[in-house]
Structure 1
Amino acid sequence: MNIRKATENDVNGIAHVHINSWQTTYTGILPNQYLSSLNIEARKKNWKRNLKMLHSATFVAENAKGEIIGFAAGGPEQTHEPLIQGEVYAIYILKEYQRQGLGRKMIKAVIHELMKMEHKNLIIWALKDNPSCGFYKALGGRVIAEKTVKMAGIKLIEVGYGWEDIQDILLHL
């Protein structure tokens, strides 16, 4: 498995992983109709824009064939919370490649970039019912915030896993 910084040439692979991961991760959390309606062209457009942002750190994971099988992204905290500086925006891996240590490797790459940007602390938001919440707890994150979000026409709870010192997450990687 190879982990590297994402480029604009990776938009197709990232969009594929993004949609596929949502469909496998959020089944039973988000309506099936919504999950099946996710649009690859819209995701590609979104990621093309995201990858042009100078302040973001996006990495992809490739299998032995060079196919993108996962991605992770981070940058400055997005809600302008004055006490939190860095945020991991997304980490998604195709289901068949999960539980092989890839998430830890990708998040480590993002954390190192956030540290280069001089972010001192970190938050990762996740839907409360997301089965990956255990991953953030295993990395030493603790719930420091909670908010209600509306997705696919329904209200859901998001929890923010935080690290007061961004370097603390590295102790678990």
Structure 2
Amino acid sequence: MISLRKARVADAIAIGAVHVAAWRSAYPGILPDAFLARMSVSRQAAFYDAAIRGGTGVTVATASGMDVPVGSGPRIIGFTTAGRARHIEIAGRRLGEGEVETLYVLDDWRERGVGRRLMRAAAAHLVDVGCRSAFLWVLRDNPSRWFYQRLGGRSVAEQTIQIAGQSVQQTAFVWDPIEQLLAASPQAS
């Protein structure tokens, strides 16, 4: 069974492990191999520990029951973080009030509706903190970028950022009004 819940501080290490695994899976050939190899679960865990303690909306997806080996407890298989937008405008264009900062799901759990459920949970959190629109950034060459379009996101801006000393393009997807994301149907993507 796959369930969603608000993250706890004790989840930080598992969240960090999902983050590192997702980047190592999604970004070979996009980001430098040496950078991906040096990624640290403990550094990511420290970041997410601080985010959870600081009130960022962190939601985890857990698998349990028949979806995990007999005798093991619930396992974190994905997560999302969301909060008020860090930057509302880029190049004079308004993006949105709320930002989905991260969405990562382990490879073995993709194509099972986990990402859609996490995105709707992020949108619900943003509504709870008063946001009427949402956006996120995704690396343009990320093979999963079309997922956001299938959820009704509109590509509205691009920008170049630096990761590990390398220039990469990222694309902003927007849901305005945010209800478009809240209503995203599991069957639609």
Question: What band does the TM-score fall into relative to the shorter chain?
Answer: over 0.9
**Of 116, 119, 131, the match for 1:107:** 119
Tell me the residue number matched to 1:33.
Answer: 34
The one-letter code matched in structure 2 to 1:63 is: A
Aligned to 1:67: 75
CA root-mean-square deviation: 1.2
**2: CA distance between counterparts of 1:44 and 1:124?**
22
Residue 75 of structure 1, CA deviation? 0.5
Letter in 2 for 1:167: E
Aligned residues: 172
5 Å-filtered alignment, 1:10-49, equals 10-49=11-50
Letter in 1 for 2:155: V
Shift of residue 36, structure 1, vs aligned partner: 0.6
Unaligned runs of 5+ in 2: 65-72
- Three-state SS of the structure 2 residue aligned to 1:148 is strand
| TM superposition shift of 1:171 | 2.7
8 Å Cα contact 2:124/2:182 also seen in 1: no
Percent of paired sites with the same residue: 30
Secondary structure of 1:160's counterpart equals: strand
* Structure 1 counterpart of 2:139: 127
Contact 2:119/2:181 (8 A) holds in 1: no
The whole-number CA distance in structure 1 between the counterparts of 2:181 and 2:45 is 30
Q: TM-score under structure 2 normalisation?
A: 0.87
How far did residue 80 of structure 1 move?
Answer: 4.1
Unaligned runs of 5+ in 1: none
Confirm whether residue 153 of structure 1 aligns to residue 165 of structure 2: yes
Query: In terms of mean alpha carbon deviation, does 5-14 or 76-85 score higher?
Result: 76-85
Q: Looking at CA atoms only, which structure, 1 or 2, has the larger radius of gyration? A: 2
Q: Distance in 1 between matches of 2:156 and 2:134?
A: 11
